Amino acid sequence: MNRPTVVLALCNHKGGTGKTTTALNLGAAIGMLNIKTLLIDLDPQGFLTRMVDVPEPHPAKSALSLYNPRLKKGELEPIEVSTFDLIPASRHMTKWMKRFTKPTDHLWIRESLRHYDGYDLIILDTAAAVTVYCMGALVATTHVVIPVTPEIQPVYGASSAFNSVAIVRKTLNPGLKSPFFLITQADGRKTEHRSYAKYLRDKYGAQVLKNVIRTNSALAKSYKGGRSVFHDDPRARGARDYANAAHEILGILGLSPADP
């Protein structure tokens, strides 16, 4: 008997926090553990799609099709990328976003994900804005991780995302759990980073993950060619950080490679 699919959304209402880098490297790390993982790029700008070198897809072959009420199982096939699969974004998502104005439009992703029950984990990468795609991701998931660089603007954006989760839980998704924060791009030499990391832990306590993604050159290199940090140097600090974060997140999600 297959275990139920777990859905995880990555969200921060401020850009530049390493959210898409986190999606890529968490997907790579978890996929290497033989946990069948699907990443869905719900950012109309398609950063994740470009990072893994997937060309601009036809709209019908992109995440936009998750909003098609006539979508059938097997009709939107994910693309195999290294240790995970991907449903890419399309630039047409920006144009269509203006047409999704009904309250029920927030429900389409949740409904469409029923077609992907063969995966152990689905990771939803969202844009750094409150869009119908971001809200749809929060409605579709039970778990949220907020990547946050320990600086004033990213922390503000993370707090805003935290509040968005609370609103969605009250109105559209009572099964949505309180989000976790993953500190990214942290530089322990900077007083500002140490101060804001402490602020987050003081304010949110155990909701801040123990593991931290430190700033390092290996993560910058991983952008090239869509390769994860594990391809270039699996012993690099960035690889170790994301491997440790993945292990901690899997524990929260209740997923294990040893599960049947």
Digit-coded pLDDT (tens) for 139-151: 999 999 999 999 9
Burial grade of 231 (CB within 10 A; 0-12, 13-18, 19 or more) = middle
Neighbours of 171 (CB within 10 A): 11
Per-residue confidence (pLDDT) for residue 225, from 0 to 100: 57
Is residue 4 predicted with pLDDT exceeding 90? no
pLDDT in tens, 193-228: 999 999 999 999 999 999 999 987 666 665 555 578
Q: Report residue 175 as tokens.
A: 């099964």
Task: Identify the CA nearest to 84 among candidates 23, 171, 19, 137.
Answer: 23
Q: What share of the chain is helix, strand, coil (3-state, %, to 5)?
A: 45, 15, 40
Compute how many other C-beta atoms are within 10 angstroms of the C-beta atom of residue 33: 17
How far apart (Å, rounded) are the C-alpha atoms in residues 54 and 88? Answer: 7
- If you average pLDDT over residues 153-166, what whole number do you get? 94
The pTM score is: 0.94
The pLDDT of residue 145: 97
7: helix, strand or coil = strand
Decide if pLDDT at 260 tops 50. Answer: no
pLDDT at 217: 67
Tens of pLDDT along 44-67? 999 999 988 899 999 999 999 999
Q: Tell me which of 148-152, 230-234, 243-247 is least confident.
A: 230-234
Angle between helices 152-171 and 191-204 (to 10 degrees): 20
Average pLDDT of the residues of the chain: 91
